[in-house]
Structure 1
Amino acid sequence: MHRLFTELEPSITVTEQNLADRVRYILRSNIFDGAELERLRREAVPSSNENATTEGAVPQVAEQPAHVDAAENTPVVADSNDDGTFTQELEIEQMRSTLEEAIMETRSTPLENRPRLPRIALSKRNRAVVRALNPMLVTYLEASRDLCETDSILFGAALAVCRIIGAKLSTAGRTTGQSSAIPAWRTRIEERIAKARALIGRLICFRSGNTRPRIVRTVRMAFAGTNVSLSQPDIMQKLTEHIDDLKQRIAAWGKRIRRYTERSTRFNQNRLFQSDQKRLYKSLERPMVSGTGPVPNQADTVAFWRSLWSEPVNHNEGPWTEVVASQCAGITPMDPVTITPGDVAEAVRRAPNWKSPGLDGLHHYWLKGFVSYGRSWKRTRTTILPSFRSSPQSDKDKE
């Protein structure tokens, strides 16, 4: 490439590295599309040597950036035009090994320890990487046995895409429950309370007659910036007033923490009442004090439950059961609903790309991009009752 450039432009002095950097920048930034590059190439190359340069020089221009990028270990995928074709500077085998490593890592990782997938930019470069991994997923998805394994494969593919494009991944695992972190302001208040209590203890010691240097130094620091001196005749009264002031501050700080705790408890109970009343009532029950008596005998326990569940019992249901059975005889049973790949595709299509994912941590964006999972879904169809279709979670179940 450098030899051809010196023949075309002998008046311009440029090194081989500088020329390679300029070509790489042009291809990466997509300043010119494919048609424009071809037109410039035809204008620059003489007509007599057009065939030779087209066959010999053009591959050098396309291969030089790939050689430089491979030396830098920088995975780059760029688009050459708008119809989806792209020049892949990272070798296919390297992408395949990254995908296989991510899938194996995901299979051996629990759901709560999976990394949090970031939101990637909706660029042509990122979409090209997703399209490149799609045919590689067919082998893994055809060997999938259930939906859990399919979800693991899709998450591994999403993880591979993030690693290839260089997206930042959080190393900490995702938390599946409510966060138990203490607010920063509460930590600061608790530290103030601890310091105030320690100061009160030393002030009481000094008032009781303890004049050790450490105690005296603490009392002087407590009255620093005021007109109070330890040699004043009313120093005992000043000490009592300062102790009372600290106690009132501690009471105010503690009341603020209690208000926050009570408010959080009410909020969580109201939310739990809307979602699961049974669980709320169980949490409100006081735990029973476990007795300290002897442990029940295993034989007695088995005999007790066997008398309840093993002996046949004849129940007299009464005439009302026959009335109910006769009334329900004419009711047509509900037809089962089979979830088809079309239902799954429609549910995924209408879902937002970056809506908060479920426990698996997989956003809808990846379900839309990795279209190869449709083959695996055909072998794992699920039949449910029609009542679930009208429920708010039907789309979630389909996905």
Structure 2
Amino acid sequence: MHRLFAELEPSLTVTEQNLADRVPYILRSNIFDFAELERQRREAVPSSYENATAEDAAPQIVEQSTNVDAAMNTPVVVDSNDDGTVAQELELEHMRSTLEEAIAETRSTPLENRPRVPRIALSKRNRAVVRAPNPMLVTYLEASRDLCETNSILFGAALAVCRIIGTKASTVRRATGQSSAIPAWRRRIEVRIAKAKALIGRLICFRSGNNRPRIVRTVRMAFAGRNVSLSQPDITQKLPHTDQKRLYESLERPMLSGTGPATNQADTVAFWRGLWSEPVNHSEGPWTEVVASQCVSLTPMDPVIITPDDVAEAVRRAPNWKSPGLDGLHHYWLKEFVVCHTVLAQQFQEAPNQKSLPSLLTTGITHLVLKDQGTTDPSKYRPITCIPTIYKTLTSI
């Protein structure tokens, strides 16, 4: 392959290893679609086979029969739509194998070690790729037995879509992460180049007459300490706050900073465990019996029937990319994978009849937000818990 490449491109100097690494990189980065790859493969394989045959085999004279000659001279009619059909079948087969691999990987991965699925850019191609697995998910969802298995299937489908699009899922939450193939020094240089390009662009905008505050602020920061003065005068009368509510809140409440010593993790866990995990014996007064006797005459509520339309409406109102729970599944995937609404409606209907909910629905990620200056006191933090999206969908119906 290296010899053929040197003959085609004699001006380029490429090593054998570098040329061999280009093939998996092109396939992994989705530079060419499946139709283009299949067309190039059909063009390359026969030619290489003929070259190898011409070089290795000795020339021989073979007498052909009349039937073979007639068959070779017979014109063949080829349908122009065959290429598109083959490419589409190859693309669907690749998507099906990627989906199966991602679902199997998700089922074998602990909940806390799932990768973080990134946000998908809004485009027509991405929207088509996201909706393409819907027919393939029907088989998996029909075999789902509970909400935990349905969650694993949906997360595996989301992970497969990210791999097909080319968006890399973050492995920060994994127990054992793989090192990146790009060296650290190269990433640092690329970051510096990107920052320099952004600064040059803002300098060009300022030079062309763009005097927006953000542009001027960037230019002043770039020229700080260089004895360079800008021709634009400072505006003495400025509106420092545009949000009236936030201004009054900042005046009434002092600004909090978490620069002090952090609280001890063991003390924090012990404090909140005492509030959440310890059983409490409530004293039931006589008023509870009065309320119970008054509720006897009330008409019982009609049984709630959850339909797929109810699930679709509950998912539609939810934000796309709000912080998920420990499962890592965003509402966006529940909106796009519309085939899951029927299965979720059926499993939501059965959930209240069970004695206990799965641990997936009752496990969340709690963030402690500082609300006072006492950073070492665990009671001075406000707990904010991110719960799974499936549980939020169930409670919003």
Asked whether the two chains share a fold, i.e. TM above 0.5, the reply is: no
Name whichever structure is richer in helix by fraction: 1
TM-score, scaled relative to structure 1 = 0.41
TM-score, scaled relative to structure 2 = 0.41
Rg bigger for which structure? 1
